[in-house]
Chains A and B, each alone.
Chain A
Amino acid sequence: MEGKIQILILDDEPIVGKRLGPALAKMGGEVEVFENPHQALMRIQEKTFDIVVTDIRMEDIDGIEILEKVKAKSDHTKVIMITGYATVEVAREALGKGAFDFIAKPFKPNDLREVIVRAAAALGFKGLTAVESAK
C-alpha cells in the first residue's frame, strides 16, 4: 500500500491528543486528533481511516459505539481501544466487536507505538517505524 497511514485519535483528555498526535506523525503517519466523539464520528463518516485509536469511556458516546460505527463503515480499519478502567467484560465486548487491540492507561508510549506498528503491518504498510524513545 502506498501513501501515509491515516490515523485518528479520539480521547477526551486533551494532553493525549496534544502529545500523541505529533508522536505518531513522527512515525510516518498522518494523524487527526479529536477530543469530542461527535466531531470524531462526523469526520469518520467523511473519511476512511486506517487506524482509529479511541478511548472507551467518554461523555455521551462511548468507545464501543465508535468501534461499531467505524467497523460498519470500513471493516478493514484497525480500531485500538484505550481505557483508564479496564474490565474483562469490556475487553471481551470490544474484541468481540472487532477491535484490533486493547491498551490500558497508564501506558508507556512505546506500547502504543508497538500496537500501531502491528496494526499497520497487518494492513500492509511497511513504512512505519517504531522510534525508540529515550528512556
Chain B
Amino acid sequence: MTWTAPKMNNNPNGPLEKKGAFLKGTPVSPMPDEACFAEAQKDLTARPTMSIRAKIILGFVLLFFLCAGASITFLIMGSRINQKLKVMETVNSYTFEIQQARRFEKNFFLYRTNLPDALENIQNAREILKKESRNITEVIGPEKLHLMAAHLNRYENLLTSLRVTPSGSSEKPAASARIEGELRQHGSEMIFLAANLVEKERKEVESLTRLSRQVPLIFLAILLVVMVYLTHFLAQQIVRPLNRFVDYTLKIGQGDFTPIKPAKKYKDEFSRLALGINWMMDQLQKNQEQYIQSRKMASIGTLTSGIAHELNNPLNNICITTESLIDDLNTISEAEKRKRLQDIYTQAERASGTVRNLLDFTRMGQPAFVPVVVQELLSSTLNLARNEMELNNITLDYSPASPEAKVKGDFSQLQQVFLNLVINAIQSMPQGGNLGIQVKTEDPDFIQIAVKDTGVGIPQSVINQIFDPFFTTKEKGTGLGLSTSYTIVKKHGGKFLIDSQINQGSSFSVFIPKFKER
C-alpha cells in the first residue's frame, strides 16, 4: 500500500492543515489566519440586532393583546346587554305608568274621577322618558323617541281638555266621545310601541348572550393556534442555534479552526457566543506554537538516555585520562603524554559535538537554506541515534552517498526530520531488526532519502492520521514528531512517500530539492 503526500504549495501556516482532506481529493480549508479571524468577527458584529429576548417579549405581548381583545369583546358585550336590560326595565316602568293612566282614564269615563291621577301617571311616564332618553335613543333612535313623546303629549292634551269640561255636565257628548276614542287610540299605540320595543330588546339580549357564549370557545381556539406557533417559533430560535454550535464544537474538536461566520441576517445572544468561540480559537492557535515548542522540549525525553550517556562518557574519560596523566607525568614518555592529551582533546570535542546537536534539535527558527551534504546529515543523525540502536539490537544498513550529493536546506531542521524518522523506525522494532538508509540521486530535481525498517508497519486505519499533530500510537509519545517533520519538509519544498506492510516494515522516503550549483 503506497501513499504519496502531494507537493504542497508554500503555505507557511504550520502543522494544522487537514492532511486527510488532501488524500481524499477534497479541497483543504487553508489554516485561518489573523485577517480571516478579524473579518469573521467584524461580520458577526456588523449585523442589526434582533435579540431572542426581544422576540420572546414580542410573543408574549402578542398573546397579551389576544387576551385583551377577547376580554374587551366580552366587556363590550356585557355592557351592551346591561344597557339593553336597563332600557327594558325603563320601558316596563313607562308601560306601567301608561297602563295606570289608562285605568284612571277608564275610571274617569265611568265615574268621572281620577283624572288628576291619570295626568300624574302621564307626567311620570314623561319623566321616565326624559330621564332615560339617552339610553332609549341609543336603542330605538331619536325619531321613535319623538314619536313616543308626541303620543304622550297628545294623550296629555286630550286628558287636559277633558278637565276643562266640568264634571257632571252632559253637554257636548259627541266631543267627549271623540276625545275618548282618540285617547284610547293613543293609549294603545303607546302600549304597542312599548311592547314592540321590549320585544325587540329582549330578542337582541338573547342573541348577545348566545354570542357571548361562543366568544370563549373562539378565543381558546385562536389562543391555541397562536401559542403553538409561538412556542415552536421561539423554541427554534434557541434550539437551532444550539445545534449549530454543537456542530461547531465538534468541528473544533477535530482540529478545524475556521472562524464561525454569520449564519443569519440578524445578531442575537448567540452571536456573543460565536464571537467568544472565535476569540478562543484565535488564542489557542497563537499559543499553539509555544505549546508545540514546549512539548518538543518534553519529547527530548526520548533522547535523554542517549544525551546523558553521550555527555557523561566523554567527561568521565577526560577525568580518568587527566588523572592518569598527572599520576604518571614523570614516568611516561613524551609520546605517551601527547597521546593522552590528545585523548582528552578528542573527548572534549565529542562532548561539545553532542551539545551542539542537542541545541540544534531544540532550536526553533526560520530555516536558513544552504547547501547540505547528505552524507554529513545522515551520519550525524545516525550518531545521535546510535545509542538507541544499540539498546534495541538494531542492525544498520547504510551505504553513504557520495559527498557531492547536496540538498538545499537547513541542516539542523533536516537532521531533526531524519532523527525523527530513524527513532520512529527503531521504535517500530522492539524485538530488534534492521534499519536501512538509502540515498537516491537519479531524479534531476530531488534527492530521495529512504528510511526503512523491518518493524510492525502502519495499519490502513491510521495511515491518514500519522502526520496529524498529537497523533501517536506510542504510550509515551507526544505525537509531534511526524507533524513537525512534515512541516519542515514542506518548508523545504519537499515531499514524503510512504510504503508500509503490517509486520513487514515501513519505508519513509523524503524528497528534498537538490542544491544546484549556479
Contact = CB atoms under 8 A, between A and B. Distances in A.
A77 B332 CA distance: 34
Interface stretch (B151-159, B165-173, B313-321): B313-321
B324 A105 contact: no
B28 to A, nearest CB: 43
A106 B323 contact: no
Given A15-B317, A60-B393, A22 B324 contact: yes
Contacts of A85: 304-305, 308-309, 312
A53 B469 CA distance: 45
A93 interface: no
A15 B327 contact: no
B390 A109 contact: no
A91 interface: no
B347 interface: yes
Judged by DSSP, the binding face of A is: loop
A121 to B, nearest CB: 23
Contacts of B390: 58-60
Interface in B80-105: none
A133 interface: yes
A105 B316 contact: yes
A126 B328 CA distance: 25
The CB with the most chain B CB atoms within 10 A, among A16, A57, A133, is that of A57
Contacts, number: 63
Interface in A66-104: 84-85, 104
B164 interface: no
A84 B313 contact: yes
B35 interface: no
Nearest to B309: A84
Contact of A84 (B308, B318, B343): B308
Interface in A17-74: 19-20, 22-23, 57-60
Contacts of B318: 106
A94 to B, nearest CB: 16
A134 B107 CA distance: 165
A78 B157 CA distance: 156
B391 interface: yes
B312 A105 contact: yes
Q: How extensive is the interface on chain B, given as a class?
A: 20 to 34
Given A134-B326, A134-B327, A105 B315 contact: yes
Contacts of B326: 133-134
Interface string B370-395: 00000000000000000100110100
B319 A57 contact: no
B324 to A, nearest CB: 4
Contacts of B312: 84-85, 104-106
Nearest to B329: A134
Contacts of A23: 320, 323-324, 327
A15 B347 contact: yes
Contacts of B309: 57, 84-85
Contacts of A16: 316-317, 320
Nearest to A55: B313
Nearest to A87: B305
A35 B387 CA distance: 16
Contact of A13 (B313, B387, B391): B313
Given A84-B308, A85-B309, A133-B327, A19 B315 contact: no
B327 A106 contact: no
A121 B163 CA distance: 167
A19 B316 contact: no
Contacts of A84: 308-313, 316
A70 B44 CA distance: 76
Given A16-B316, A60-B393, A84-B312, A109 B305 contact: no
A134 B315 CA distance: 19
Contacts of A106: 312, 315-316, 318-319
B323 A133 contact: yes
The CB with the most chain B CB atoms within 10 A, among A13, A16, A19, is that of A19
A84 B391 CA distance: 14
A59 B387 CA distance: 8
A81 to B, nearest CB: 14
Contacts of B304: 85
Contacts of B320: 15-16, 19-20, 23, 109
Contacts of A60: 390, 393
Interface in B271-323: 304-305, 308-313, 315-321, 323
Contacts of A19: 320-321, 323-324
Nearest to B346: A15
A59 B309 CA distance: 13
Given A13-B313, A15-B320, A105-B313, A57 B391 contact: yes
B70 to A, nearest CB: 83
Given A84-B311, A104-B312, A105-B313, 6 more contacts: A13-B317, A19-B323, A22-B324, A23-B327, A85-B305, A106-B312
24 contacts: A13-B313, A13-B316, A15-B317, A15-B343, A16-B316, A16-B320, A19-B320, A19-B324, A23-B327, A57-B305, A58-B390, A84-B308, A84-B309, A85-B308, A85-B309, A85-B312, A104-B312, A106-B316, A107-B319, A108-B319, A109-B323, A133-B323, A133-B327, A134-B326
Interface of A: 13, 15-16, 19-20, 22-23, 57-60, 84-85, 104-109, 133-134
Interface of B: 304-305, 308-313, 315-321, 323-324, 326-328, 343, 347, 387, 390-391, 393
